[in-house]
Structure 1
Amino acid sequence: MPAPCSCMSFNPETRRLSVGLDNGTISEFILAEDYNKMTPTRTYSAHQSRVTMVLFILEMEWMLSTGQDKLFTWHCSETGERLGNYRTTACASCLQFDVETRHVFVGDHSGQVTILKLEQDNCSLITTFKGHTAGVTSLCWDPVQRLLFSGSSDHSIIIWDIGGRKGMALELQGHRDKIQSIAYAHHSRQLISCSADGGIVVWNMDVERQETPEWLDSDSCQKCDQPFFWNFKQMWDSKKIGLRQHHCRKCGKAVCGKCSSKSSTIPLMGFEFEVRVCDSCYDSITDEQHNRDTEEGHIALPSHSRPGGHSSTLEISCHFSFRRMGPRALQSLSHGGTPC
């Protein structure tokens, strides 16, 4: 190869191997029936720098690719002609394509997922999903349920319910480091994710989940009415010292530390590790968990003490010894704020 290989895509029906290179080109090969010989067929001058993702679409005879030059491009695989390109806000890192609607999903290092409608020689921007606080590292598409899965360096996975047309997004928190890759098993409806923490998690997609609430804004605690530290007027009137603001992950209310002193896992919302919850939500979580375990015939344990691997939404969680230490156009979706 004229340059180091950075990514590749293989189509078993045509035995076509597409290899992206560090110099921005894509080399295409046809493999022999016995897989002992590779015949070069075409080279695409797709990008000005490293190719980050390449995807061959047999039904359209298109070659899709993203690169570090912030370009998404698509070529005709029959003629090698470039059909068009689209410039993303940041370096594109991954992509998926829906054959039925000709929609392409492009994830980038800013944390956005851009949805484009592709035609033969042009494209149009449909919408942009903004739910991650760090770069998108991997995308998966379920064409049957019309669900888009995005993994990110912010340790989370988001399920974008495109088929539901309600703008719903569900968050999965089962890793302690950046998501390296995700894959979807269509026959069993299971999502498999792996992370830089050395863990592999299998998620059951048949479980009914709840959407995480938006974080509410308030100048005082919505439980005890204590002012937050920027609310000078209430601090002066009540002669009280301002407190730091936190948010309950279950109800989304703005609360002080005293009213949110407990933490718990919330598997139905995708939180497999303990997160901050207000005291009233903590009581309701443990009651819900007790009732569910009683119905299922399990020993009832407080939800905050149960390991993530025993939740009903996460089927398998394993860590290896080598782990590192240390449409309303699908209304713009966003999970505001950062954990505190």
Structure 2
Amino acid sequence: MAEKRQWSVLAQHLPHHGLSLLCSGLPPRQQTGVCGSGQWSRNAHQNRVSAIIFSLAAEWVISTGHDKCVSWMCTRSGNMLGRHFFTSWASCLQYDFDTQYAFVGDYSGQITLLKLEQNSCSVITTLKGHEGSIACLWWDPIQRLLFSGASDNSIIMWDIGGRKGRTLLLQGHHDRVQSLCYLQLTRQLVSCSSDGGIAVWNMDVSREEAPQWLESDSCQKCEQPFFWNIKQMWDTKTLGLRQHHCRKCGQAVCGKCSSKRSSYPVMGFEFQVRVCDSCYDSIKDEDRTSLATFHEGKHNISHMSMDVARGLMVTCGTDRIVKIWDMTPVVGCSLATGFAPR
């Protein structure tokens, strides 16, 4: 069973009104900001601002909003440099300062990788894997890993670097994943969900990719037809069955051939999921050992931020509560000494 703990809260502040830096995130038609050359005001977005990043090297402010666009502006002149539009609301943003790549998640469940130029941009690729809107992103420029959390309660790790195209699925939350933070030194991922769940994932282990779901007109175990396979049902004089999928092998199976459930943490399944009978028999007891710890935040978490050097975490929620957490029992004091926990 996955371990559940409750950390000590160092401080909490009740009257929180959702203010943020630089932009308020409210839907006025004109957003304002402050830069080195003085105050400036431009029509950066025509709707709610969802994310904003400042690049000191490029002297850009990059932002996304519910007007379905990402924009980048010059902080020196205040001029709009470029915009790129999407088909859905842009919900979150990450930026690689060295390559000027921007990662934009949207409400359709897609993540778009853009190469930003001074007055233009180009679409590098689109990442598709979530079944719900993207709620948060985290980019690790050292290992070149992108983590995404979504309203489908799952997290996906995208390997943008050496092993291009490799993805890992993490499922341990029971509600929308709202915030992520990857601790590169200790190889741990911290995630928070809107139901107050806080998870710490051990990413310093060899994990398996979840398989692609296979499609078939009949069960790939017992060969009974599925309910849309009219011809086989007529030939065999049997009723069609509902199609399911084994989370471990990806095969299309009927309910009778996938009647058991099991966790499989090495593939990211921290709670029990549907597996076919043969896969269930192949999973050993040690394979069910959890690779994450789960904790109860006891408030509706909407955002999280980490002070890695001191091992502190701040969470704020829609309940207008801000909590400061001591993370050292989980991530260890090794963050200050430089030694990873084993």
Distance 2:84 2:250 in 1: 37
RMSD: 2.2
Equivalence for 1:136 = 134
| Residue 320 of structure 1: aligned partner | 297
CA distance in 2, matches of 1:90, 1:7: 25
Mean Cα deviation higher: 191-200 or 19-28 = 19-28
In the other structure, the counterpart of 1:45 is 43
**Which AA in structure 2 matches 1:130?**
K
Query: 165, 181, 184: which is aligned to 2:182?
Result: 184
- In the alignment, what sits opposite 1:267? 265
Q: Which of 172, 175, 181 lines up with 1:174 in the alignment?
A: 172
Instruction: Tell me, in whole angstroms, the C-alpha distance in 2 between the residues paired with 1:173 and 1:117.
Output: 30
Residue 95 of structure 1 contacts residue 107 of structure 1 at CA under 8 Å; is this kept in 2? yes
Deviation at 1:49, TM superposition (A): 1.3
230-239 vs 103-112, which deviates more? Answer: 230-239
Displacement after TM superposition at 1:6 (Å): 7.2
Secondary structure, counterpart of 1:158 in structure 2: strand
The amino acid that maps onto 1:121 is N
Q: Which amino acid aligns with 2:172?
A: G
After superposition, residues 22-101 of structure 1 pair within 5 angstroms as: 22-29=27-34, 41-101=39-99
- Quick one: structure 1 residues 8 and 65, their matched pair in 2 at CA, closer, same or farther if it must change by over 3 Å? farther
SS in 1 for 2:139: strand
Alignment TM-score, normalising by the size of structure 1: 0.79
Please give the TM-score of this superposition, normalised by the length of structure 2: 0.78
Give the whole-Å Cα distance in 2 for the aligned partners of 1:96 and 1:210: 26
**Aligned-partner residue type, residue 190 of structure 2:** I
Task: Answer whether contact 2:35 2:76 (CA < 8 A) is retained.
Answer: no
Using the TM superposition, give the Cα deviation of residue 22 of structure 1 relative to its aligned residue in structure 2, in angstroms: 2.5
Which whole-Å CA distance do the structure 2 matches of 1:71 and 1:25 have between them?
Answer: 15
State the secondary structure of the residue aligned to 2:130: coil
The answer to which of 164-173 and 225-234 deviates more is: 164-173
Contact 2:23–2:49 under 8 Å retained in 1: no
**Taking structure 1 as reference, are residues 29 and 244 closer, same or farther at Cα in structure 2, changes over 3 Å only?**
same
Flag the 1:206–1:261 CA change in 2: closer, same or farther, 3 A: same
Query: 1:83 offset after TM fit, Å?
Result: 0.5
SS across alignment from 1:22: coil
Are the equivalent residues in 2 in contact too, given 1:25–1:51 (CA < 8 A)? no
* Shift in CA distance, 7/45, structure 1 to aligned 2, threshold 3 Å: farther
- What is the identity, as a one-letter code, of the residue corresponding to 1:320? G
Alpha-carbon shift at residue 188 of structure 1 (Å): 2.0
The unaligned stretches of length 5 or more in structure 2 are: 1-16, 302-342
**Counterpart residue number, 1:103:** 101
Shift of 1:101: 1.4
Q: Distance in 2 between matches of 1:25 and 1:239?
A: 67
Task: Describe the shift of the 1:322–1:120 C-alpha distance in structure 2 as closer, same or farther (beyond 3 A).
Answer: closer
Could you say if the C-alpha distance between residues 86 and 195 of structure 1 is closer, same or farther in structure 2, counting changes exceeding 3 Å? same
Which residue number in structure 2 is paired with residue 297 of structure 1?
none
Quick one: higher RCO (CA 8 Å, sep 6+), 1 or 2? Answer: 2
Residue 197 of structure 2: which of 185, 189, 199 is its match? 199
Query: Helix, strand or coil for the counterpart of 1:164?
Result: coil
Residues 294-334 of structure 1, C-alpha deviations (whole Å, 9 max, x = no match)? xxxxxxxxx3xxxxxx51x21x211234469xxxxxxxxxx
In 2, the alpha carbon distance for the partners of 1:64 and 1:6 equals: 21
Pair 1:184–1:104, CA change in 2 (3 A): same
Paired letter, 2:181: A
Matched residue of 2:233: which SS? helix
Q: Deviations over 1:189-242 (max 9, x none)?
A: 221111122100011221111111001111111111111111111112112211
The residue type paired with residue 27 of structure 2 is D
The residue identity in structure 1 corresponding to 2:295 is C
The answer (yes or no) to whether the contact 1:264–1:277 under 8 Å persists in 2 is: yes
Q: Counterparts in 2 of 1:116-155, with a 5 A limit?
A: 116-155=114-153
Look up the equivalent residue of 2:101 and give its one-letter code. H
Distance 1:30 1:63, change over 3 A: closer
Letter in 1 for 2:155: I
Deviates more, 1:233-242 or 1:260-269: 233-242
2-structure distance, mates of 1:96, 1:112? 14
User: Counterparts of 1:212 and 1:43 in 2: how far apart (Å)?
Assistant: 47
Q: Percent identity?
A: 57
SS of the equivalent of 1:251 reads coil
Distance in 2 of aligned mates of 1:6 and 1:42: 23
Residue aligning to 1:244? 242
Task: Report the CA distance between 1:133 and its aligned residue.
Answer: 1.1
3-state SS in 1 of match to 2:77: coil
